[in-house]
């Protein structure tokens, strides 16, 4: 079961994003400013995830995608990586039942083979348990990279071409998008990055082509409902043109 993909006209008219994607940055700095070890910041960040999931459900957001662990995060100190994976597993075990009761569908995107087998099984179980839920779709990007996503899509298309199922001349944007991780979901309307950095860090490179980009200095553990609604209000004030002129957009909104 997947979220319905809004039409272009619906996306132009809507003041509410159907899909919000977030880079949750600033856990380590939050801990350091308080004289705490970095894991304390990550644990506090889990509380922020709960808050924003609840906000999305309350506001009627269809899809929330969170960048939890990038393919570049393996470069961090081994002790921090181990603690992150342990926190991920513990959080998953603790939160799945509550998410399921609230109708949240859980999905994971990214390369899973690098994770411990137990964690991979937990991820698959969470997806299976919540697969038929028709509320918020919560997508968690783990060991994910936008370039990896594109490479996987190209490999799948190459196999189809080699097998004679697809003619190279038939490859267009829609066919490429159909092989990406979020193929059956609406593309993000609003991207949020906390922590003050202003870059997308190899996150959803293809899917963010027409996304509104919102950056805030608030560190992720401090990001709360008021911060989220401030981002939604900023989004509502944007004029989304998708290549149209401003006049065309106003005509569509008034239609």
Contact 24, 66 (CB under 8 A): yes
Categorize the per-residue pLDDT at 108 as very low, low, confident or very high, splitting at 50, 70 and 90. very high
145, with CB counted inside 10 A (0-12, 13-18, 19+), is buried
Q: Please, which pLDDT band fits residue 249 given cuts at 50, 70 and 90?
A: low
The least confident of 40-44, 74-78, 224-228, 231-235 is: 74-78
At 160 the pLDDT is: 96
* pLDDT above 90 coverage of the chain, percent: 80
Q: Where are the alpha helices (DSSP H) in 105-213?
A: 117-130, 146-162, 173-177
Which tokens hold the place of 4? 């319905």
Which of the following is catalytic: 73, 184, 202, 222? Answer: 73
pLDDT tens track for 119-140: 999 999 999 999 999 999 999 9
What pLDDT score was predicted for residue 196? Answer: 97
The pLDDT of residue 203 is above 90: yes
Tokens of 41: 């910041």
pLDDT tens-digit readout, 145-192:
999 999 999 999 999 999 999 999 999 999 999 999 999 999 999 999
pLDDT at 246: 61
Task: Look at residue 244 in the predicted model and tell me its pLDDT.
Answer: 57
pLDDT at 12 over 80: no
Mean pLDDT computed over 200-206:
97
pLDDT at 1 over 70: no
Residues 87, 40: Cα–Cα separation, whole Å: 11
Q: Decide if pLDDT at 242 tops 60.
A: no
Catalytic residue, from 25, 27, 133, 189: name it: 25
CB 242 within 8 A of CB 8: yes
State yes or no: is 73 an active-site residue: yes
Domain annotation for the chain: domains and CATH numbers: 9-145+187-254 (3.40.1180.10)
pLDDT at 47: 96
Residue 71 banded pLDDT, cuts 50, 70, 90:
confident
Q: E strands, the chain, where?
A: 19-23, 63-70, 105-109, 137-144, 190-193, 212-215
Any bridge partners for residue 106, and if so which?
Answer: 138
Task: Quote the percentage of the chain above a pLDDT of 70.
Answer: 91
């Amino acid at each position: 079961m997947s979220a319905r993909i809004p039409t272009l006209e619906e996306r132009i008219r809507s003041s509410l994003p159907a899909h919000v994607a977030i880079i949750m940055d600033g856990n380590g700095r939050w801990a350091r400013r308080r004289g705490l070890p970095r894991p304390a910041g990550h644990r506090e960040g889990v509380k922020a995830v709960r808050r924003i999931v609840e906000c999305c459900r309350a506001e009627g957001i269809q899809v929330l995608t969170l960048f939890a662990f990038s393919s570049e995060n393996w470069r961090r100190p081994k002790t921090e990586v181990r603690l992150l994976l342990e926190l991920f597993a513990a959080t998953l075990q603790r939160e799945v039942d509550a998410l399921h009761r609230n109708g949240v569908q859980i999905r994971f995107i990214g390369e899973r083979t690098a994770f411990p087998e137990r964690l991979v099984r937990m991820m698959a179980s969470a997806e299976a348990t919540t697969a038929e839920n028709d509320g918020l779709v919560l997508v968690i990007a783990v060991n994910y990279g936008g370039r990896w996503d594109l490479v996987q899509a190209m490999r799948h298309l190459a196999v189809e071409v080699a097998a004679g199922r697809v003619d190279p001349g038939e490859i267009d944007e829609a066919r490429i998008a159909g092989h990406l991780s979020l193929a059956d979901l609406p593309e993000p309307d609003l991207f949020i990055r906390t922590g003050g950095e202003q870059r997308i860090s190899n996150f959803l490179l293809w899917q963010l082509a027409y996304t509104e980009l919102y950056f805030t200095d608030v560190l992720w553990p401090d990001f709360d409902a008021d911060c989220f609604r401030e981002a939604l209000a900023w989004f509502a004030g944007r004029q989304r043109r998708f290549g149209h002129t401003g006049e065309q957009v106003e005509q569509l909104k008034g239609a």
